[in-house]
Structure 1
Amino acid sequence: MSGVVTQRSAPFLLTGPALLVFLGLVIIPLGMTVLLSFYDWGQYKGIVPEFTLKNWIEVFSDSYFLEIFLRTFRIAVLVTLASILIGVPEAYILNRMSPAWRSAFLLVIIGPLLVSVVSRTLGWALLLGSTGLVNQGLIALGLIKTPLEFMFTETGVVIALIHVLIPFMILAVWASLQRLDPQIENAALSLGAGRLTIWRRVILPQIVPGILSGSIIVFALAASAFASPAIIGGRRLKVAATLAYDEFLNTLNWPLGAAVATLLLVALVLITVGSNRLVERRYAQVFE
């Protein structure tokens, strides 16, 4: 009897420590943040633990917050689309390389992930500035006469985020390509199909799940990014993450910052869950 009880309780005993860590580091802080968003706040009275919907009403009724959230998701969508356009062909080329070259280029792709995102973003700030290498190079080539505005613009933030997040798209698509039998392309060629037709009718449908998975990762990370928008966008170009940061540490309005952070989290969870269902349905269609 004791053996049966031990066997049944073993999974709970094994997962118990991880569950406690998850509760302590994730669930409880998130719950406290959600609870904090319903507290009152005043400039002279500070945080008052009284239930109120004032923060949520302010977030949903003020066009300032709507503009920031629209900007956040617009940047995330642009970064995701650019990552697809650049990452999918790059993943296909990576998959077609010989093992030796593939290992070298895979290290090049993964290498930036080993560098701090702050260091990479500061590098982009130096490159995209009015006296940076990009503008000075374009002026030297005679393509422009005055420096282009990259700093404190959505364009600069998108460029920096693409560099930070595109490895996730490449790795997700490459994982899908690993499951693809290379002889399928040879069979299509032997039947008279062109390269474009093979790509559109044979390869693309089978890597769509990888593209969707990579898109979910890139979109979620871009929408919640803080370092790149804070450095490249500065105080002129706020996104949801930098807005929550300012409310917490500059204005000290923690309940309003908690409401902004909670709304961003809920929006990302809904988008991620919906996209994940789409991915699962696509996987089911591909492998049926």
Structure 2
Amino acid sequence: MARRSGSFSTITEPFRSFWHRFSYGLLIAAAFGLLVLGKADIVLVERTRTAIVDATAPILDVLSRPAATVSDLLQQARELRDLRDENARLREENARLMQWQQAARLLEAENRSLRALTGYIPDPAASYVTGRVIGDSGGPFVRSVLVNVGSRDGVEKGQAAMTGQGLAGRIAEVGYQHARALLITDLNSRIPVIVENTRDRAILAGDNTVRPKLLYLDSNAKVSPGDRIVTSGHAGALPPGLPVGIVISVSDHEVRVKPFVEWHKIEYLRLVDFSLPAAARSEPTRQEASQSPGRR
């Protein structure tokens, strides 16, 4: 069928031929022209770019929604998978906790029976006051710190000075607005302690180093590095079970303990009143400590 004269394709044929022949050069010229125009009139180019972005933003928003929807679906699938894993883990943990709860109930019933047989009197509830460390002796012969609470706050001599890690020392001096805590590393500090897993008694003695030692430990005691040391409660100086430190070295001559307290980070001390008898609030003397059997 012959092409009708004056049709649209006949009219545009020269323009299409021209574009195919010179399109590359025209694009380069257009790019160069836009570059020159951008240098000549920055404001005009900025306005034009803003108008183009405003015009194409709705289109980009519509085109991006399917991608965002797919991304959300993938994220939900990942979260569902993680929730299933978490649910399985929580079920296992809940089963273990139920077993521990049953064991705790049995132990509680056993403790009630034993307390009834022995006439056990529970320890009174402890009270405490927190003080900020305002002074550190830091000398070669004394290991003590000053805190900004005193007798006006209910602080008394002999109370335990503790941090979040464990026992730091005991209150040795009390003023109206301050108190001095003698640290367990001080040369004059003597704390009755016990090896937690073997129940061997000893005296934790400071010697002005950061690693106090155990004295008067029984000759048959089996102490190993890593054993936890806690207060024994003997002599009524401190209640039993307060964390003190761990054994760090054992030799024929001495056993050294690394306290739980990080001395260089002490900013606050909790002064705890365990309602102990006033007669028990003095530090055990060397003569008292020497009465304990042992070889060290």
Question: TM-score normalised to the size of structure 1?
Answer: 0.24
Name which one, 1 or 2, has greater alpha-carbon Rg. 2
Q: Which has the higher helix share?
A: 1
Higher relative contact order (CA 8 A, sep 6+): 1
Question: TM-score normalised to the size of structure 2?
Answer: 0.23
